[in-house]
Amino acid sequence: MGWSLNQAAEYVPEKVKKAEKKLEDNPYDLDAWSILIREAQNQPIDKAWKTYERLVAQFPSSGRF
């Protein structure tokens, strides 16, 4: 049996879950942010914008990302 559309839409890769957990412990973890940004780059903008907004809020003057 395949996934329903809702299950596919709710799927979060394990690496993203781990990165989110790392950011709970250390909001300045650049490796975790890199994982989230790489994942967001593969998403439609209507799903990715929250990640970018969080990044800019955490690092408002950084040009690295």
Query: Domains of the chain: which residue ranges?
Result: 12-58
Concatenated DSSP letters for 1-31? ----HHHHHH---HHHHHHHHHHHH-TT-HH
> Which tokens hold the place of 8?
């596919």
Q: Are 65 and 59 in contact (CB under 8 A)?
A: yes
Q: Which residues contact 51 (CB under 8 A, 6 or more apart)?
A: 36, 37, 39, 40
pLDDT tens digit sequence for 7-63: 556 789 999 999 999 999 999 999 999 999 999 999 999 999 999 999 999 999 876
Least Cα distance to 37 among 57, 62, 54 occurs for 54
pLDDT tens digit sequence for 31-40: 999 999 999 9
pTM exceeds 0.85 for this model: no
